[in-house]
């Protein structure tokens, strides 16, 4: 396979797996924040992840409010993603299964940071474009992002109606994401 075709396939595989992993992680986050599961987006997330997480749930028990089967499934998806990336981009890379599992855990952390980055960015844009407008997406974004934004809002001074807490949280998420020692190929 040529370099360009290999690169395009690598991009396609990374995108598809990352998007589905984000949906699985959203399922975990929605349960942690006790989101309204009557929301159409929550129902979509639940239906899109019901079968694989249900199968994992037969083997792995839940722990308190944490959907451990969904977390394990998200890490497994990242593991598959890294393995496919290695086959496509670095076929000479030998087996080091523990290192690949560690990279999968780190990639899951990076995906969580990226997920929150984009959801906070979209929420901020929605508040500027259509303030005080109800939509299922806005309600879900508020529910998901508020646990990260609330502590920052408590310590930031009010700037005449301008809320800079999303900016502070986004910068913090990018710092955390960059501190995770994940090779660039898998980011």
Per-residue pLDDT of the chain (187 residues; tens, 9 = 90+): 566 777 888 899 899 999 999 999 999 999 999 999 899 999 999 999 999 998 888 888 888 888 899 999 999 999 999 988 888 877 777 678 888 899 999 999 999 999 999 999 999 999 888 777 788 899 999 999 999 999 999 988 778 878 889 999 999 999 999 999 888 767 6
- Structure tokens given for 50: 């019901």
CA 151/CA 69 separation, integer angstroms: 29
Please state the pTM of the whole predicted model. 0.89
Q: How many residues belong to the chain?
A: 187
- In the three-class reduction of DSSP (H, G, I as helix; E, B as strand; rest coil), residue 141 is classed as helix
Name the nearest CA neighbour of 186 among 130, 125, 105. 105
CB 75 within 8 A of CB 25: no
Q: What φ, ψ does residue 163 adopt, rounded to 5°?
A: -100, 110
The DSSP letter of residue 186 is: G
What is the pLDDT at residue 133?
Answer: 79
Query: How many structural domains compose the chain?
Result: 1
Paired strand residues for 66:
63
Residue range(s) defining the domain that contains residue 48 = 3-186
């Amino acid at each position: 396979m040529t370099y360009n075709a290999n690169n395009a396939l690598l991009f396609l595989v990374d995108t598809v797996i990352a998007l589905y992993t984000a949906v699985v992680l959203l399922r975990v986050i929605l349960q942690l924040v006790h989101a309204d599961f009557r929301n159409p987006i929550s129902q979509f997330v639940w239906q899109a992840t019901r079968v694989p997480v249900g199968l994992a749930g037969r083997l792995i028990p839940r722990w308190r409010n944490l959907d451990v089967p969904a977390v394990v499934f998200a890490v497994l998806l990242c593991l598959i993603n890294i393995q496919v990336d290695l086959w496509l981009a670095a076929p000479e890379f030998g087996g080091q299964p523990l290192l690949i599992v560690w990279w999968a855990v780190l990639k899951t952390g990076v995906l969580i940071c990226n997920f929150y980055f984009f959801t906070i960015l979209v929420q901020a844009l929605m508040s500027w474009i259509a303030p005080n407008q109800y939509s299922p997406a806005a309600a879900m974004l508020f529910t998901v992002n508020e646990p990260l934004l609330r502590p920052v809002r408590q310590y930031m001074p009010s700037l005449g109606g301008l809320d800079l807490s999303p900016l502070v949280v986004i910068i913090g998420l990018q710092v955390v994401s960059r501190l995770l020692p994940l090779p660039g190929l898998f980011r």
